[in-house]
Structure 1
Amino acid sequence: MAEPLTAASVRAALEAEASDEQRVKILGRMTDDATEVIGVRMGTVFDIAKVNERMPLPEVDLLLDSDVYELRMVAVSILDFQARAKGVDRRALYELWMRRLDRIDTWDYIDRSAPRVVGWYLLDKPRDVLFELARSDDRWHRRTAITAAFWIIRAGDLDDPLALCEILADDPEHLVQTNVGVALREIGRVDAARLRAFLDRRGDDLSAHARRTARSALA
């Protein structure tokens, strides 16, 4: 009989793959000094998440409780993998993600899971929550808003993503601006005229990095 998929077994699997070299590398890109790091290369973290992709959501919730970077990365990766499955309960994934928003507090947790877990769920629903997040004082909430919009853009729905870009065009946080640039680039690949109109109106408000990224769609 297969072993149960638990938060404890994930931790054991990660600790078995840890190395001091990887720990130093990962610590170098952490944005919060309080984050603990085991030291497992990202490819291995994703492999462990894939093995555990059918983990029950209460166990995923336990992973999100951890202060360990890799455990929470496994958690958001499992949510992303589950969001890709046919017949999945998207509402349950979305509600867990949003309830634990305080634990999804690095740029890569957000990028790994927000498009499918949040954006996909909201494809056929009102997006008020994204506008609330875009106006938050918390930079990770603002990054979540624009990153979730990637999946909405992918569906060819540009109105709300452009409205979010309007709110975030002059955001002072680099880690928000980077994904505003990505959102605009993807909007431009769907409708170049709307991107040009946005850049004519708000281009000077964007960071140089975001502006370059957006304009790459017009090259």
Structure 2
Amino acid sequence: MVPEPPAPSPSVLTTADDVRAALLELSDESKAAQVARYLRAVPGGYGEGDRFHGVPVPCTRAVARRAVLDDGELERLVASPWHEERMAALCVAVAQAKRISRLLGSRRAQQDPDSPAIEEALARREELGQRYLGWVGQDLVNNWDLVDTSAEHLVGAWLLVPLVGDQKLPSRIGDLITSSSVWERRVAVMSTFATTRAGTDWPAYAVARQLLNDPHDLIHKAVGWMLREAGKRVDEGSLVAFLDRYAARMPRTMLRYAIERLSPEVRAHYRSLRA
């Protein structure tokens, strides 16, 4: 029997137009309407004005994995009015950032930290981070799913992971925390996932302390989530100590997210402090 020929590999996408065309092939108007409601892209919602192809996130990520974009094409894609196209651009940038993090954490980097390759990687990581903060400031990263996909890798790995022993947040993170933009504040929160995954929890608590009085429920949810992850991945005792001090003044949603993995008795205790 003659074996079947292998399926052709998907073509590489080298321009923003290529990525757009690939996403359009997967578009679904009914799903687009559902996603618009889910992400509050409705009159008066925090995502008002956004446009959707109706492509599921896993499919958008798969398209992004086929993309090899220079910086000019990446900028074109992230400036798109279509949500999934901006998501694809962020996935491309995140993939670059992850490769850099793997290189910087490698034995090669430890053995020769001053090599040109390592210096180039550090410079590229900073360039990606600066670009990303520019996108956030231009309101191109303007919903929670976009922030949550990207902030950990493009901000946390750049600004927080190298400083884990300093116990002091960088000024750029402080600027994000005090921003009037909910998306910049959420970037500050979600960037702490990078250090939490690396086994250091103080940035999560430092950011959380400064956002206890934030008025937006998207910040309440993000802070509670990052507190929960810090307790789960690093040290539950530190989470309990934080809650002992601040639970009574935490917004209810923030507290509910933070205590989700604690025992029923402990959860009941902290909820009673908000009664």
TM-score norm. by structure 1 comes to: 0.92
Find out whether 1:153 has 2:162 as its counterpart: no
Tell me the CA shift for residue 159 of structure 1: 2.5
Deviation string, structure 1 residues 65-100 (Cα, Å, up to 9, x no partner) = 111111101111111122111445312221211121
Change (3 A) 1:205 1:57: farther
**Could you tell me how far 1:160 is from its partner in structure 2?**
2.7
Change (3 A) 1:133 1:16: same
Return the alpha-carbon distance in structure 1 between the equivalents of residues 51 and 260 of structure 2: 37
Describe the SS at the equivalent of 1:151. Answer: helix
- The question of 1:98 aligning with 2:133 is answered yes
SS of 1:172's partner is coil
Compute the displacement of 1:205 (Å). 2.3
Higher relative contact order (CA 8 A, sep 6+): 1
Shift of 1:33: 2.2
Q: From the CA coordinates, give the structure whose radius of gyration is larger.
A: 2
Aligned residue identity for 1:216: E
CA distance in 2, matches of 1:78, 1:38: 18
In the aligned structure 2, how far is the partner of 1:4 from the partner of 1:19? 21
Question: Which one of 61, 69, 73 corresponds to residue 75 of structure 2?
Answer: 61
Post-superposition shift, 1:4?
5.5
CA offsets 1:152-186 (integer angstroms, 9 cap, x no match): 12222222321110011221111111110111112
Counterpart for residue 171 of structure 2: 128
Match of 1:35? 50
Which residue in the other structure is 1:183 paired with? Answer: 226
TM-score, normalising length: structure 2: 0.74
> Could you tell me the percent identity over the aligned residues?
29
Equivalent AA in structure 2 for residue 168 of structure 1: L
5+ residue gaps in structure 2? 1-10, 104-120, 164-168, 264-275
Task: Give, in whole Å, the separation in 2 of the partners of 1:36 and 1:19.
Answer: 12
CA distance in 2, matches of 1:103, 1:203: 34
Secondary structure, aligned partner of 2:229:
helix
Residues 161-172 of structure 1 mapped to structure 2, 5 A cutoff = 161-172=204-215
Give the Cα separation in 1 of the matches to 2:27 and 2:236.
46
Aligned length: 217
- Of the structure 1 ranges 196-205 and 125-134, higher mean CA displacement relative to structure 2 is found in 125-134
C-alpha separation between the residues in 2 aligned to 1:192 and 1:11? 44
Matching residue of 2:116: none
Residue 216 of structure 1: aligned partner: 260
Is the aligned partner of 1:115 residue 2:152? Answer: yes
Letter matched to residue 76 of structure 1? L
Match of 1:45 in 2: 60
2:189 partner letter: I
Q: Distance in 1 between matches of 2:182 and 2:29?
A: 30
C-alpha deviations, 1:108-162, integer Å up to 9, x for none? 0000011111101121146221111111111111111000111112222222321
Amino acid at match of 2:20: R
* Structure with greater helix percent: 1
In structure 2, distance between residues paired with 1:178 and 1:97: 22
- Find the counterpart in structure 1 of residue 247 from structure 2: 203
Contact conserved, 1:192 with 1:217, CA < 8 A, in 2? no
Instruction: Give 1:3 deviation, angstroms.
Output: 5.4
Aligned-residue RMSD, C-alpha? 1.7
For residue 17 of structure 1, what is the amino acid of its counterpart?
Answer: L
